[in-house]
Amino acid sequence: MDLKQLNAFIAVADLRSFSAAATKTGLSQPSLSRLLKQLETDMGVVLIDRYHRPLHLTEAGSFFYDKISTILTEIDTVTSMTQRLSAPSSVLNIGFVPSVLYGLLPEIIATLKQFSPDIDVNLKDISSYQQMDALKSGEIDIGFGRFAHQDPWIQQILLRHERYVVALPKSHPLANVRKQRLIDLANNRLILYHQTHLPVSSTVTTETATHKLSTSRVNRAAKHDASSSEPITEPLLHLFAQYGISPFMTTTVSDLQVALGLVAAGEGITLVPASLQTVRTEQISYQRLVHENVTSPIYLHTLKDFVHPKIPDLLTAIYHVYEQRGITYRQQNFVSQA
């Protein structure tokens, strides 16, 4: 069994077609078929059911695909890490979720450039979840996101918790009320925008619900009924559920900008990290919440086994900005095992 055979198998399994897999791998179709036949003969197992179109994997083939694709990804990760270790790039590639760009990221990068004038930084807008693969492939060296990830290749540090504020249309009856309570917001349409949902282990269920809102509206979207034991994995619904509240109605949109656009248009309310409260202030009123623990974490992620040499400077810049602004944080350092 060799890597060429395994890559040919993965290409056929992914594309369900010999000709598409041949194009993808740059092999001729007869060479690709030969590699697959050889793999099956070596293993003594039929992996691909060739009699149906599109092609199907046999049960054994599906099992093999699941396991071997993980191993091949790990081989790619190790190869890329070894290359970076032997010749670290002079550029620091930083992945970030959009919400941190509205906050301190620009100031942190400016501070880093003051501390390290020779540094070359490349910024990439990339979701929290996709940052994990981007770190492994070497597309980014460090990622800033708002979700914790459990991954054997990745180390993360929690930088701080940022408070959520409520975003309401200026015409809303509560628009000028300072220090809002979640229960007073529950009768509004809540606009949801998170792409990544919470890991199941950190969720609560609505079995804890104590406040039940009565409504006659038929298209009630926050449909999590109190008897359900399914965990709530959407972050904003999770926050409401921690206070035993199930919002009256929800609308889900693709990102935070769209959510704030809908709030500006009077279509509902949402919660955003406090650093967003400078966006669309002509149409949106941002108010603090009384609940101190309604916060959004900011995590820094990097590989466990390879920490880019400029990352310690970046961490120093982050803590410097926090100190300048009087932001509470708990200092942590990466352990570079390289």
The residues that touch ligand BEZ, with contacts defined as CB under 6 A, are 100, 103-105, 108, 144, 159-160, 298, 318
Residue number with CB closer to ligand BEZ (138 or 273) = 273
Residue number with CB closer to ligand BEZ (100 or 190) = 100
Residue number with CB closer to ligand BEZ (27 or 159) = 159
Residue number with CB closer to ligand BEZ (146 or 304) = 146
- Beta bridge partner(s), residue 161: 297
Q: Which two tokens stand for residue 259?
A: 């959510």
Dihedral of CA 46/47/49/50: which sign? negative
Residue number with CB closer to ligand BEZ (40 or 141) = 141
Q: What is the Cα–Cα distance from 186 to 208, expressed in whole angstroms?
A: 16
Closest C-alpha to 133, from 119, 155, 154, 117: 154
Nearest distance from C-beta of residue 208 to ligand BEZ, angstroms:
30
Closest C-alpha to 162, from 219, 115, 99, 207: 99
Query: Letter for the amino acid at 198?
Result: L
Give the rounded distance of the alpha carbon of 162 from its chain centre. Answer: 17
Residues in the chain: 338
Nearest distance from C-beta of residue 298 to ligand BEZ, angstroms:
5
Q: Judge contact between 335 and 179, C-beta under 8 A.
A: no
Residue number with CB closer to ligand BEZ (307 or 318) = 318
Nearest distance from C-beta of residue 300 to ligand BEZ, angstroms:
7
| Residue 269: HSE in the Cβ half-sphere, 13 Å Cα cutoff | 25
Only one residue has tokens 């309570």, namely 181
Nearest distance from C-beta of residue 103 to ligand BEZ, angstroms:
4
Q: What is the Cα–Cα distance from 143 to 88, expressed in whole angstroms?
A: 17
Nearest distance from C-beta of residue 273 to ligand BEZ, angstroms:
8
Nearest distance from C-beta of residue 329 to ligand BEZ, angstroms:
8
Closest C-alpha to 296, from 331, 272, 270, 329: 272
280 CB-near residues (< 8 Å, 6+ apart): 260, 261, 263, 264
Nearest distance from C-beta of residue 336 to ligand BEZ, angstroms:
19
Residue number with CB closer to ligand BEZ (159 or 263) = 159
